[in-house]
Amino acid sequence: MSKLNVLLLTGLIPLALSCESSSQNTSETIPKLESTKILEEQQYVHLHGMPTKGKILMVASSPTISKQTGWPIGFWASELTHPLHVFQEAGYEVELASTDGGVIKMDSYSDPTDESGYSSHDIITLGYMQKEWFNNMLENTIELAEVDPDDYNAIFLVGGQAPMYTYRGNEVLEELFSSFYESGKPSASVCHSTTLLLEAKKSDGDLIVKNKIWTGFANTEEEYADKAVGMKIQPYRIEDEARKIQNTTFKVAAPFSSFAIADGNLITGQQQNSGAAAASLLIKQLNK
């Protein structure tokens, strides 16, 4: 029995008043108490001057000329700078190597100061470009042959247009990446740098991507880029080549969305907008 009915029966509330109250209650919405969900987020941010946790090797392509377009091509800026920012905030030192060593160059469309304005929104790259140490790093990259994998906790391959020529079939880079992977270290590749995975093998002769789920630059993204410039940019498409490989799963998300996959210690990112996501997956593995 409700409290209201008890009061009515005992005569403590007049019937007329109770009717009036009931009438009012039926026309008004009684507010419901909602449970409040409290969300908290905490993330480590490395303070300036503190000792680093370790060292990550990033690899970018040396400059070359596209046989498709005739353009001078190199690495895609955000695929270096955005992961670099993630690594530094997580407390890791970064060293940069390239296929030939020495000076490396950004793809022009990835330069936020390029007159095309294509990447003018990339303030992370723009910020790094103001730093003398960053520009010195681009001018003095380590040659692959000089790299000792034992000096590093992880490897991260930077993409861009040049890797389609300088990474695929590059046995030195294949062996380097495989050595990191087989030692259990986080081994990451984004965008067109995933062309390396089309042929890179483990010491037992199996492809690294055998029985793996991975991603890379998608056909829909290649089509968008080709239409934007009015010509075929790349000599082949990674997705087409990947889908020819047996016992592997090549997966893509919506065009130009941030998308990264970690399948064991193999980490891949779909394109230039996926570098930070791939880097975050790498850091999560190092923090285990």
Position 29 confidence tier, pLDDT thresholds 50, 70, 90: low
pLDDT tens sequence across 196-206: 999 999 999 99
Structure-token match 């997966």, residue found: 251
Mean local confidence (pLDDT), 115-127? 97
DSSP 8-class letter at 192: G
Task: Report how many domains make up the chain.
Answer: 1
Classify residue 211 by burial, with Cβ atoms within 10 Å: 0-12, 13-18, 19+. Answer: exposed
How far apart CA 23 and CA 176 sit, in angstroms, is 80
Q: In this structure, what token pair is assigned to residue 274?
A: 């996926």
Determine, yes or no, domain membership for 27: no
Q: Is residue 218 part of a domain?
A: yes
Question: pTM, whole model, 2 decimals?
Answer: 0.87
User: For residue 202, is it within any domain?
Assistant: yes
| Total residue count of the chain as it appears in this document | 288
Q: Is the model's pLDDT at 31 over the cut of 70?
A: no
Q: What is the CATH number of the domain that holds 138?
A: 3.40.50.880
CB atoms within 10 A of CB 184: 10
Give me the residues paired with residue 84 across strands: none
Q: Are 76 and 112 in contact (CB under 8 A)?
A: no
Per-residue pLDDT reduced to its tens digit, 12-23: 444 444 444 444
Half-sphere exposure of 2 (CA within 13 A, CB side): 5
* 16 in a structural domain: no
How far, in Å, CA of 110 to CA of 77, rounded? 5
- What is the structure's pLDDT at 22? 44
With 60 as the cut, is the pLDDT of residue 42 above it? yes
Helix axes 77-89, 275-286, angle to 10 degrees: 30
Residue 96 is assigned to a structural domain of this protein: yes
Mean pLDDT of the chain: 91
> Looking at the domain assignment, is residue 40 inside a domain?
no
pLDDT digit string, tens, across residues 128-170: 999 999 999 999 999 999 999 999 999 999 999 999 999 999 9
Q: Write out the residue range of the structural domain in which residue 209 sits.
A: 54-286
Confidence class for position 33, pLDDT limits 50, 70, 90:
low
Distance (Å, rounded) from C-alpha 242 to C-alpha 238?
6
- Is position 198 within any domain? yes
Whether 181 is in a domain gets the answer yes
Q: Which of helix, strand or coil describes residue 167? A: coil
Gap between the Cα atoms of 118 and 61, Å rounded? 21
- DSSP H or E segment with residue 78: helix 77-89
C-beta of residue 202 within 8 angstroms of C-beta of residue 236? no
Interval 224-263: pLDDT, tens: 999 998 999 999 999 999 999 999 999 999 999 999 999 9
> Which is nearest to 143 in space by CA: 80, 99, 196?
99
Choice between 20 and 171, residue whose per-residue pLDDT is larger: 171
Nearest to 269 by CA among 197, 202, 168, 162: 197
Q: 48-86 pLDDT, tens per residue?
A: 889 999 999 999 999 999 999 999 999 999 999 999 999
